[in-house]
Amino acid sequence: MPNPECLRPNHSHTLEAVLIPLRVPEEPIVFFGAGAFGVPTLAELVRRGRVVAIVTQPDKPAGRGGELSPTPIALWAREHAPHVPILKPDKCNTPEVRERIRAFATTTWVVIAFGQKLGLALLADRFAINLHASLLPRWRGAAPINAAMVAGDTRTGNSVITLADRMDAGLVLGTSERDVLPHMTAGELHDLLSSDGPELVLRVLAEHQAGALRGASQDESLVTIAPKMSKADGWMDLSQPAARCRERVHGLTPWPGVSATLVPTVGSEAGTVEAIKLLRVRDEAVPHSRGAGDALDAPRGLFAAGPGTALRLLEVQAPGKRAMSFEDFARGKAGLLAGGPRLVSAVGKPASTPTQGGALPAGGPA
């Protein structure tokens, strides 16, 4: 007798069988990743029981003591997924490592902020996708979030792409988008885009399994490059409009950060130069005829920027100190600020200049 739950009455008062499709098991995954950006996606794939192996970078020296420290992916896996095998190869393309990775019983790989290029022999006959933190082809490279914010982009997002021999040049399989708001820092945007990763990756995987996935080629004429940042990039130009200064400060927070100094004016009794790192600022329209960096209201953190604009310091960090509001910082520097110091940031050629168009550097997907 048919199961009553699978029957329903039709208009002729007879019983009609309803076909209930069987649930197709989700494809297992080998996950490649090192940076914190991939943790939410890994966590969701592990929660669904899909991860059969994790490949990450070797432990590396960190801190003043140089003690070996696991990657954020390895740290998360050790605590939350001890049952999943984890590999930490120096080079994932050597024959021995390649054979071991390819031995896992799946042809589906997810790569997020891994940091090693996967060679063609390793990738052969595998469906391998990469989650990248930009709307490709804009901002291919190591620091797409920083580059988008420093350039003043008001909208960015994630792209899932196929892996290609050239850096971040694969077919775009899916995207997600977010607004870049004036108060956001690169660290905050990183966390938001990271949290968007699981839904986007799962959508692409589901479309692949259903045979409905379609990839779009990237327009090479629209390519921009986002090189890795360094401490040498930690500057701003206060002769520019304050909005540009704010974009740079927020785009480089928390790292490498924009360094500046408060320099007492000639003849003041304000003491010595004070070094600070700028963490959060606000651009304001303020008519003035002062030079770049001159104090407009130093005790309240307001300094002259490009014509008709000013930069207000909201959050700073002194060397060896915790991050604090400028209001808290000002309480301990009343004498310096009362003397109207100049805000100075050493302007120089950035070590990592975002570029547009032209030849692309060789390298693998992140």
pLDDT digits (tens, 9 = 90+) for 335-363: 899 999 999 997 655 456 566 543 333 23
Residue 149 or residue 10, greater confidence: 149
The percentage of the chain sitting over the pLDDT mark of 90, rounded to a whole number, equals 83
pLDDT > 70: percent of the chain: 87
Q: What is the 3-state secondary structure (H, E, C) of the chain?
A: CCCHHHEEECCCCCEEECCCCCCCCCCCEEEEECCHHHHHHHHHHHHCCCEEEEECCCCEEECCCCEEECCHHHHHHHHHCCCCCEECCCCCCCHHHHHHHHCCCCCEEEEECCCCCCCHHHHCCCEEEEEECCCCCCCEECCHHHHHHHCCCCEEEEEEEECCCECCCCCEEEEEEEECCCCCCHHHHHHHHHHHHHHHHHHHHHHHHCCCCCCECCCHHHCEEECCCCHHHCCCCCCCCHHHHHHHHHHCCCCCCEEEEEECCCCCCCCCCEEEEEEEEEEEECCCCCCCCCEEEHHHCEEECCCCEEEEEEEEECCCCCEEEHHHHHHCCHHHHHCCCEEECCCCCCCCCCEECCCCCECCCC
Inter-residue contact 175 to 160 (CB < 8 Å): yes
- pLDDT grade for 6, boundaries at 50, 70 and 90: very low
State the span(s) of the chain assigned CATH 3.40.50.170.
29-226
Question: Is this prediction's pTM over 0.85?
Answer: yes
pLDDT for residue 356: 56
Q: How confident is the model at residue 14 (pLDDT cuts 50, 70, 90)?
A: very low
CATH 3.40.47.10 is held by the domain 29-226:
no
Categorize the per-residue pLDDT at 25 as very low, low, confident or very high, splitting at 50, 70 and 90.
Answer: confident
Burial class (CB in 10 A: 0-12, 13-18, 19+), 64: exposed
Give span(s): CATH 3.10.25.10, the chain.
231-344
Tens digits of residue pLDDT in 221-254: 999 999 999 999 999 999 999 999 999 999 999 9
> Per residue in 55-66, pLDDT tens?
999 999 988 888
Residue 276 has pLDDT above 70, yes or no: yes
Architecture of domain 231-344: Roll (3.10)
pLDDT tens digits for range 29-51: 999 999 999 999 999 999 999 99
**Predicted pLDDT of residue 249:** 98
Reported confidence tier of residue 4, pLDDT bands at 50, 70, 90: very low
Asked if the model's pLDDT at residue 9 lies above 90, the reply is: no
Average pLDDT (64-91) is 95
